[in-house]
Amino acid sequence: MRIKVHVNGEWKTADVWPGTSLLFVLREHFGLAGAKNACEQGECGSCSVWLDGTLVCACLVLAAQAHEREVRTVESLAGEDRLHPVQEAFLASGAVQCGFCTPGLVVAVADLLAHHPSPDEAEVREALSGNLCRCTGYAKILDAVRLASARTRGGSR
């Protein structure tokens, strides 16, 4: 079947098998490999993207469900020559190790801070409880959220 998706500001089309996930289409048809394939059953959050502005696991969305809808991925966050404040905070805080969970976490944190600019720690933990990281033990991810939150609110980079 043929689908048409508005991805990161651009209409893209693909011819897919009906069982194809949005994750597969993004990665294999549209060349957007930022959303990762760690569990492909909605447990790890590595494939987090926005579907019409709502945070979803792309592995749990059928490609067909994204037909004529808007998808934003991690690739949409950085500008030409500057990183998104969340990306910058992940680097500064040492929240990146192997980096496989990172794009999903960056998207989830950006989503959290967009809705809730100064979450307390319990709120951060709850918001990120669907994103698994095997390397960091999450401490530096919490640091990164605090830093991104402070910098976003302070209006500085």
**b/e per residue, 10-32, with b = 16+ CB within 10 A?**
eebebebeeebbbbbbbbebbeb
The DSSP H or E segment spanning 6 is strand 2-7
Cβ closest to another protein, residue 27 vs residue 66:
27
Interface with another protein includes 2 (CB under 8 A)? no
Window 35 to 94, contacts with another protein (CB under 8 A)? 35-41, 43-44, 46, 73-75, 77-78, 83, 87-88, 90-92, 94
Minimal distance in Å, beta carbon 31 to another protein? 7
> Among 112, 101, 114, 105, which Cα is nearest to 87's?
105
Interface with another protein includes 157 (CB under 8 A)? no
User: Where does this chain touch another protein (CB under 8 A) — which range of 1-9, 50-58, 60-68, 134-142?
Assistant: 134-142
Amino acid at 79: G
Joined together, the tokens standing for residue 49 give 């993207």
Minimal distance in Å, beta carbon 11 to another protein? 21
> Distance (Å, rounded) from C-alpha 154 to C-alpha 100?
30
Binding stretches for another protein (CB under 8 A) = 17, 19, 27-28, 31-41, 43-44, 46, 73-75, 77-78, 83, 87-88, 90-92, 94, 96-103, 106, 122, 124-126, 128-142
